[in-house]
Amino acid sequence: IAGMFLGQLVNEALNFALKTTIKEPRPLGCGHPGYGMPSSHSQFMAYLAVYCIIWSYRRVKLENNLWKIMGNVSLCTLAILVMYSRVALNYHTVNQVLVGACVGSVFAIFWTALTAIYADPEIPRIEKWKITRMLYFRD
């Protein structure tokens, strides 16, 4: 879970870099300051949904996968509702939301692969640290 939160911080930095590079304004009449491309809400929700789906299939072992499927469908539904609301409230254009969703999804896949290669092998060693034992840290 710590890896997911660290990934979200990097995802936010990526969003800021893209907004200040692309400099596409928000829709007319929006009233919100700042650039609109890509939508940070859409990028975050796509990152969260894709990361959690991958994580659930890699780490969560259940006798009945129905609960896993229901949770993942719920997460995707929530992400889609947030993305829809950004357009419906006139905070973003459809393209800004779609680009945010694509960037967040691709970054989630990249971050999952990166942590699987570099961080996962270190978890048994990290679990032995005194601070992680005090915090009941477990993989």
Q: Which two tokens stand for residue 78?
A: 């929530």
More confident residue, 71 or 83: 83
Predicted structure pTM score: 0.82
Of 16, 30, 29, 32, which is closest to residue 100 (Cα–Cα)? Answer: 16
Q: Hey, which residues does 25 pair with through a beta bridge?
A: 35
- C-alpha 35 chain-centroid distance: 20
- The vertex-126 CA angle with 124 and 132, nearest 5°, equals 120
Q: State which of 29-33, 61-65, 92-96 shows the largest mean pLDDT.
A: 92-96
Distance CA 106, CA 88 (A): 25
**Cα-flanking dihedrals φ and ψ of residue 35, to 5°?**
-85, 160
pLDDT digits (tens, 9 = 90+) for 15-34: 999 999 999 888 888 888 88
